[in-house]
Structure 1
Amino acid sequence: MQNDDVWLVVPLFNEASVIGDVVAQCLPVFPNIVCVDDGSTDASADRAEAAGAVVVRHPVNLGQGAALQTGFDYALSDPAMRYVVTFDADGQHQVSDVEAMMDRIRSGDVEVVFGSRFLDERTEATALKRLVLRAAVSYTNLTTSTRLTDAHNGLRVLNRSVVERLDITQNRMAHASEIVAQIGAMRLDGRRVAYAEEPVHILYTDYSKAKGQSLWNSVNILAELIWR
């Protein structure tokens, strides 16, 4: 089956109104989806499961970083897994972008593919939001052994060797920079992990903005980075 060596890891918190559609859109292309329900107080877990995803539950809300680590651990329990995709639950990521990223990583010359909003013009964001996000990228590039154009994009593809070595300890928004920092410092067979970026379209809907994709959320990311 196509992509049966891929697991989509989807952190899930109170997304009952959209998660069923998100899973349904992904399943025809990516049959292995694990949603980590991070202490939701609505029907998110039930709707994800009904749509065809595997659901792992946190009894309380631990944060997106913790949800990703739980999803990684679950995916690693499948010996056939070769790649993990981190994918958001709110409908802002596009399956077609993941397919392009998978083509890139399957070429064999990189172990990680990061999605970037800033490599083409498809993602509509205000000038101020772009400025804040680019400031966060500059800070991440300054403090890690990486050079990226978009360090806080939740769409990533990682090969198994990288997933095995990741250990996320930052549970809130700073987990994205922690992932980048660990990948930048990681060695495989004595060499640095090879990574690339691919352009992706992040769809900012009224719903996703209300769920935390506002300008203030971008400011909070930058503030948390500096505080950490």
Structure 2
Amino acid sequence: MHYQDVWIVVPAFNEASVIGEVIAEVRSTFANVVCVDDGSRDGTAAAALKAGAHVVKHPVNLGQGAAIQTGIEYARSRPGAAVFATFDADGQHRVKDVLAMIERLRAGDVDIVIGTRFAQGPPARMSLAKRVILQAAAVLSSSSRKLGLTDAHNGLRVFNKTVADGLNITMNGMSHASEIIALIVENHWRAAEEPVEILYTDYSLSKGQPLLNGVNILFDGFLRGRMPR
């Protein structure tokens, strides 16, 4: 097993039915995985632990932003940690994409690599409404435009310790993605996009997102791009 300096952060909430398989797949390549159980009411933590992950538990559900921040804080405190990745718990992300993003990061000219699902057209099984919302969010955010991003709400990210040490995510819910983009601009971190494949499985599609969440993403992308910190 290689990549001993890499830590994969997996935020999870009520993912007991899939988290073991996801962690096992990640650990087939990366030894160091920390799963943050964000107040799950099922066996998420036990399944992640059995699959070999380090597990940190929130006693109550705080939201994905808070779970990612907890995971990054845990990972950056580990000896030798130099590269960090955020990876969804529901099976949508692919390990091979993480490998390509790490290779891009190790070229040394960027601090953070963000996945984009729109490099070769919209993904299979993505609804028109979701595509419109995500692409509009990137256009409306001045921070995303400054960085030239096409997919600011992609949960697959790879970054160096400079970014890990500087990240202080305060927006607990899904709006954390817009906050991360704003922090990249404010801290003058060098960013690049990397094409990735998102697997919209029956399971992930069954979870879905309310339309209100999409509206909030659009509003937040617009607002975060314009408000000084």
TM-score norm. by structure 2 comes to 0.91
Matched, 1:10 2:10: yes
Which residue, 187, 200, 205 being the options, matches 1:204? 200
The answer on whether the counterparts of 2:138 and 2:221 sit within 8 Å (CA) in structure 1 is no
Aligned to 1:99: 99
Per the alignment, do residues 117 and 214 of structure 1 end up closer, same or farther by CA in structure 2, a change over 3 Å counting?
A: farther
Amino acid at match of 1:83: V
Q: Secondary structure of the residue that 1:93 maps to in structure 2?
A: coil
The answer on whether the counterparts of 2:138 and 2:145 sit within 8 Å (CA) in structure 1 is no
Amino acid at match of 2:159: L
**Consecutive unaligned residues in structure 1, runs of 5 or more:** 187-191
Aligned to 1:41: 41
Aligned to 1:221: 217
Percent of paired sites with the same residue: 56
Amino acid at match of 1:110: V
The answer on whether the counterparts of 2:23 and 2:51 sit within 8 Å (CA) in structure 1 is yes
Q: Deviations over 1:24-53 (max 9, x none)?
A: 111011110000000000000000000010
| Distance apart, 1:220 and its partner CA | 3.8
Q: Secondary structure of the residue that 2:141 maps to in structure 1?
A: helix
The answer on whether the counterparts of 1:114 and 1:156 sit within 8 Å (CA) in structure 2 is yes
The answer on whether the counterparts of 1:5 and 1:80 sit within 8 Å (CA) in structure 2 is yes
Matched, 1:161 2:162: yes
Amino acid at match of 2:76: L
CA distance in 2 between counterparts of 1:91 and 1:145 reads 31
| Distance apart, 1:184 and its partner CA | 1.1
More displaced stretch, 133-142 vs 175-184: 133-142
CA distance in 1 between counterparts of 2:223 and 2:204 reads 26
The answer on whether the counterparts of 1:15 and 1:90 sit within 8 Å (CA) in structure 2 is yes
Amino acid at match of 2:4: D
The answer on whether the counterparts of 1:144 and 1:184 sit within 8 Å (CA) in structure 2 is no
| Distance apart, 1:167 and its partner CA | 0.6
More displaced stretch, 117-126 vs 172-181: 117-126
Q: Secondary structure of the residue that 1:171 maps to in structure 2?
A: coil
| Distance apart, 1:79 and its partner CA | 2.7
Aligned to 2:227: none
The answer on whether the counterparts of 2:147 and 2:191 sit within 8 Å (CA) in structure 1 is no
Aligned to 1:193: 189
Q: How does 1:116-155 map to 2 (within 5 A)?
A: 116-121=116-121, 123-124=123-124, 125-141=126-142, 145-155=146-156
Aligned to 2:27: 27
TM-score norm. by structure 1 comes to 0.91
CA distance in 1 between counterparts of 2:143 and 2:184 reads 15
Q: Secondary structure of the residue that 1:79 maps to in structure 2?
A: coil
Q: Deviations over 1:106-125 (max 9, x none)?
A: 11111100000111247222
CA distance in 1 between counterparts of 2:144 and 2:114 reads 18
Equivalences, count? 223
Aligned to 2:52: 52
More displaced stretch, 208-217 vs 116-125: 208-217
The answer on whether the counterparts of 1:63 and 1:171 sit within 8 Å (CA) in structure 2 is yes
CA distance in 2 between counterparts of 1:129 and 1:106 reads 32
| Distance apart, 1:195 and its partner CA | 1.1
The answer on whether the counterparts of 1:144 and 1:180 sit within 8 Å (CA) in structure 2 is no
